[in-house]
Amino acid sequence: MKTIGILGGMSWESSATYYRLINQRVRAALGGNASARLILYSFDFAEIEAMQMAGDWDGLTARMVDAARRLVGAGADLLVIATNTMHKMAAEVQAAAGVPLLHIADPAGRAARAAGFTRVGLLGTRFTMEQAFYRAALEAHGLEVLVPDEAGRATVHRIIYQELVGGVIREESRAAYRAVIADLVAQGVQAVVLGCTEIMLLVGEGDSAVPLLDTTTLHAEAAADAALGG
């Protein structure tokens, strides 16, 4: 079994979910008391958030590259960035690490195409929805990607940073997400990509008229499969 290096803590709520899902996948594959070989580098998300809001992407890239090198130095055979937004610097992390980096958008793109979808909605932080780095990764799989309108993007972003990263779940926020998803469905999307690793804490299949592609679960399962040689 290969050792997975996780760049986590962004937030720890979703990193804990990664840990559980990866180990469940490995145990299901190998049976008994088998569990994954993992090394976790967990950032202080308060520092990461402040740098994001300040637009210090060069500083964030330097931190991510340093963490990736530390994981490889500790024995990681492959890397997972356990957050969607920080895939903004995925290419730099990959180049510096010297081991495979499993991009979070790829399992979602493959799942969408396998289901026959060509037009998907994307929910995530404002950075993920508005900047090109994430949409381009999905578009590379032949997908048309739609995002919410300005008001919808503001709502989705606010709830992520003010509630979900702190593990706060509110019914009014679930209703707000349902409304944003409904707007995307009205525009003809065939599925919605949950492009933030905390969103799955708030909404599930019952909140959408079309399938939801949970990047957290898809990414974690892909990491486990890669570690097992699949």
How many other C-beta atoms lie within 10 A of the C-beta of residue 176? 17
Alpha-carbon span 81 to 98, nearest angstrom = 15
Alpha-carbon span 191 to 217, nearest angstrom = 16
Indicate the pTM of the whole model: 0.92
Distances (CA, A) of 12 to 17, 83, 115, 128: 9, 10, 31, 19
Chain centroid to CA 27: how far? 22
Mark whether 68 and 26 lie in a shared domain.
yes
pLDDT at 176: 98
Mark whether 52 and 68 lie in a shared domain.
yes
pLDDT in tens, 34-78: 999 999 999 999 999 999 999 999 999 999 999 999 999 999 999
Parent domain of 117: 105-215
pLDDT at 197: 86
Alpha-carbon span 229 to 206, nearest angstrom = 34
How many other C-beta atoms lie within 10 A of the C-beta of residue 134? 29
Alpha-carbon span 133 to 143, nearest angstrom = 14
**Beta 191-194 vs 78-81: how paired, if at all?**
unpaired
Q: State the total domains in the chain.
A: 2
How many other C-beta atoms lie within 10 A of the C-beta of residue 85? 25
Mark whether 97 and 116 lie in a shared domain.
no
CATH number for the domain spanning 34: value is 3.40.50.1860
Q: Which among 144, 127, 112, 134 is positioned nearest to 214, based on CA atoms?
A: 112
Mark whether 190 and 152 lie in a shared domain.
yes
CA dihedral 72, 193, 13, 19 (to 10 degrees): -50
Alpha-carbon span 12 to 165, nearest angstrom = 8
Alpha-carbon span 214 to 193, nearest angstrom = 6
Mark whether 169 and 207 lie in a shared domain.
yes
Alpha-carbon span 216 to 213, nearest angstrom = 9
Mark whether 77 and 146 lie in a shared domain.
no
Chain centroid to CA 202: how far? 14
Mark whether 9 and 92 lie in a shared domain.
yes
Mark whether 129 and 194 lie in a shared domain.
yes
pLDDT at 230: 67
Q: Which among 4, 71, 16 is positioned nearest to 45, based on CA atoms?
A: 16
Mark whether 19 and 78 lie in a shared domain.
yes
Mark whether 121 and 172 lie in a shared domain.
yes
Mark whether 200 and 125 lie in a shared domain.
yes
Residue 86, token pair as written in the block: 């920080």
- Which residues, other chains included, contact 206 with Cβ-Cβ below 8 Å and sequence gap of 6+? none
Mean pLDDT split into 10-residue runs, the chain, 230 residues = 97 93 98 98 96 96 98 98 96 96 97 98 96 95 98 97 93 98 98 93 95 96 94
Would you please indicate which residues are annotated as catalytic (active-site) residues? 83, 196
Mark whether 56 and 97 lie in a shared domain.
yes
